[in-house]
């Protein structure tokens, strides 16, 4: 299997799932389409194009195009760390507040992705947290979440 065969297979499953999910709603008729009409059409379209893609990819596979790892020659663990920290920011922002959460988030990324010295990390993250708090909370009144510290 090559990359496009795998991805079109995944899309086919997504298309089937969408079709099944849309059947929960009234499909209606052509003269009176129901709520499920367009979702069903989009699911069918995804399924159809994924089949076209699979055929296209299979022809290329037969010509010698093989699977190439999408994580080859990259430091994917850095991307994973960033993803985890983004979700952690979402989970923690409501509890510990915007300011502290931003301080920890920036500090973590500055220290872990391309390690800087601790002084640089703490100073940089403090500066960015204070600046973003002033700009978004004080000046633009963006009403960012306040944690147990009250800011």
Q: Return the bridge partners of 28, or none.
A: 33
The answer to whether residue 22 forms part of the interface with another protein (CB under 8 A) is yes
CB of 118 to another protein, least distance (A): 15
Decide if residue 104 touches another protein (CB under 8 A).
no
| CA–CA gap between residue 86 and residue 41 (Å, rounded) | 34
Subset of 43-62 contacting another protein (CB under 8 A): 43, 45-46, 49-50, 52-53, 56
Is 16 an interacting residue with respect to another protein (CB under 8 A)? no
| Nearest distance from C-beta of residue 148 to another protein, angstroms | 16
DSSP H helices in the chain: 3-22, 37-62, 76-96, 98-112, 118-132
Do 3 and 70 touch, CB atoms closer than 8 A? yes
**Which residues on neighbouring strands pair with residue 33, listed in sequence order?**
28
The pair of structure tokens assigned to 36 is 């499920």
Per CB under 8 A, 11 contacts another protein: yes
Question: What is the closest distance, in whole angstroms, from the C-beta atom of residue 30 to another protein in the complex?
Answer: 4
**109 and 85 Cβ atoms separated by less than 8 Å:** yes
Mention every residue, 6+ apart, whose C-beta is less than 8 A from residue 9: 1, 50, 54
Q: How many residues bind another protein (CB under 8 A)?
A: 64
Closer by beta carbon to another protein, 114 or else 149: 114
Which tokens sit at 74?
């990259």
Q: Using CB under 8 A, list all residues that contact another protein.
A: 3-4, 6-7, 11, 14, 18, 21-22, 25-26, 29-39, 41-43, 45-46, 49-50, 52-53, 56, 70, 74-76, 78-79, 82-83, 86-87, 89-90, 93-94, 102, 105-106, 109-110, 113-114, 116, 124, 128, 132, 136, 140-145
């Amino acid at each position: 299997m090559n990359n496009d065969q795998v991805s079109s297979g995944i899309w086919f499953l997504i298309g089937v799932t969408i079709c099944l999910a849309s059947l929960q709603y009234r499909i209606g008729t052509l003269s009176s389409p129901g709520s499920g009409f367009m979702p069903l059409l989009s699911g069918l379209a995804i399924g159809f194009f994924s089949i076209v893609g699979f055929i296209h990819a299979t022809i290329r596979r037969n010509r010698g195009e093989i699977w190439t790892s999408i994580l080859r020659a990259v430091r994917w663990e850095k991307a994973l760390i960033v993803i985890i920290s983004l979700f952690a920011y979402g989970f923690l922002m409501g509890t510990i507040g915007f300011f502290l959460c931003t301080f920890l988030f920036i500090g973590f990324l500055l220290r872990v992705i391309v390690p800087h010295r601790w002084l640089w990390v703490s100073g940089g993250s403090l500066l960015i947290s204070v600046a973003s708090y002033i700009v978004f909370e004080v000046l633009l009144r963006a009403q960012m979440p306040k944690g147990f510290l009250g800011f």
